[in-house]
Amino acid sequence: MQSILITGGCGFIGSNFVRAALSTLASTRLVVLDSLTYAGNPMNLVGLESDERLRFVKGDILDASLLEALFSEEEFDTVVNFAAESHVDRSILEPGGFVRTNVLGTQSLIDAARRHWTPVGETCREGVRFLQVSTDEVFGSLGETGLFHEATPYDPHSPYSASKAAADHLVRAAFHTHGLPTLITNCSNNYGPYQFPEKLIPLVIRNAREGHAIPVYGDGKNVRDWLYVTDHCSAILEVLARGAIGGTYCVGGNCERRNLDVVETICDLIDEISESASAPRRDLITFVTDRPGHDRRYAIDSGKIARELGWRPTVDFDEGIRRTVHWYLANDPWIEAIIDGSYREFYDRFYGNR
């Protein structure tokens, strides 16, 4: 990998991947393309500005002229597509934006890669890769037992997961129809530094610290498999380096937890770190009306990536959540800088009537 286009590289997982790639790939050039929507934050790359291997471009993956120019200038041999609208709650309110970015945006990237990697009448050039970063939510919901794996049928239940499923299908079609060298990773719920504060874990940390009500959907017994973000980034690097072209790899943390258990763990950690509250922060937990179409349980079988590539998660949940809480408590300026009026408006719209 000599030149990588990282779309959505100012987002949560994307920015963590940029840091991992810079520390792992010593001679590789990285170009971050991000439109800087509400969740794309250039502050996520603070400290990397002086690295000559990194270039940032503000722009939309649907801008074909921009993609044409970047592919011509940089001669990318790798694309890693993190660019996505990813918050299920927002997709319920405004699904059109998710179709635009997640579906049409992915096809726009595919088209650009094909133009430069598979000229008309020729086979695809050697050594190129197009990796689509996807989610376990495309598989739907599990019962009390079982695990998602690479052959699990798609059964998305929200506008977000449906848009990601459509994007995955387009990527597979590009491989089978046009010979584009593609890879797909389907990951479980990520957590860690730089996550936008409307997602569950950073939201709970912030509210617990400030003594605000902590909203928990339904009975709080929905189960997720939690993956520390740096483990996810290391998995992507392994798939890029040695994954089978046209293949899919499920990436999980082997850390199933109920949402309520996650919330209570965070409350207890903040009580331990900061003793300023007059009552246990668990008292702030408020059960709210469940989200429409809320999947009950996700869990991933990471056996394929372990067998083929030797990847396994290294950060268990107890360690990862402790690191995460400490990071957010130590980074108030980052949090305050991204909580603007649009975020507060969204929060009020979605949680205010529950």
DSSP 9: T
294, pLDDT greater than 70: yes
What CATH fold (topology level) applies to the domain 3-192+227-254+293-315?
A: Rossmann fold (3.40.50)
pLDDT at residue 347 tops 70: no
pLDDT for 96-116, tens place per residue? 999 999 999 999 999 999 999
What is the SS3 string spanning 16-30? Answer: HHHHHHHHHCCCCEE
Q: What CA–CA distance (Å, rounded) separates 214 from 281?
A: 9
Residue 279: the pLDDT is 86
Q: How confident is the model over 279-290, as a mean pLDDT?
A: 94
DSSP H or E run through 93:
helix 88-93
CA angle 149, 204, 36 (to 5 degrees): 75
Please write the tens of the pLDDT for every residue from 205-256.
999 998 999 999 999 999 999 999 999 999 999 999 999 999 999 999 999 9
251 within 8 A of 302, measured Cβ to Cβ: yes
pLDDT at 335: 73
Lowest mean pLDDT among 143-157, 175-189, 272-286: 272-286
For 24-44, the pLDDT digits (tens) are 999 999 999 999 887 788 888
Average pLDDT of every residue of the chain: 92
If one compares 136 and 348, the residue with the highest pLDDT of the two is 136
Chain segment 56-76, per-residue pLDDT in tens: 999 999 999 999 999 999 999
- As a whole number, mean pLDDT of residues 307-315 equals 98
Give the per-residue pLDDT at 49. 84
CA distances from 100 to 108, 164, 216, 218 (A): 10, 11, 29, 30
Query: How confident is the model over 273-278, as a mean pLDDT?
Result: 77
Is residue 354 within 8 A of residue 289, CB to CB? The reply is: yes
pLDDT at 120: 67
> What pLDDT does residue 351 have?
52
Confidence of residue 151 (pLDDT cuts 50, 70, 90): very high
Q: Which two tokens stand for residue 135?
A: 């989610």
Q: Taking the CA atoms of the chain, what radius of gyration do you get in angstroms?
A: 20
- The confidence band for 291, taking pLDDT boundaries of 50, 70 and 90, is confident
Q: What is the pLDDT of residue 353?
A: 41
Query: Which H or E run contains 88?
Result: helix 88-93
For tokens 């690191």, name the residue.
Answer: 323
Helix axes 317-329, 200-210, angle to 10 degrees: 50
Say how many CA atoms lie within 13 Å of 89 toward its Cβ.
Answer: 14
Q: Report how far residue 263's alpha carbon sits from residue 89's, in angstroms, rounded to the nearest whole number.
A: 18
The CA distance from 30 to 190, in Å, is 23
Q: Report residue 337's pLDDT band, with 50, 70 and 90 as the boundaries.
A: low
- pLDDT for 89 equals 86
| Catalytic residue IDs | 136-137, 160
For residue 278, the model assigns a pLDDT of: 76
Provide the residue ranges of all domains of the chain, joining segments of one domain with +. 3-192+227-254+293-315
pLDDT band at 345 (very low <50, low <70, confident <90, very high): low
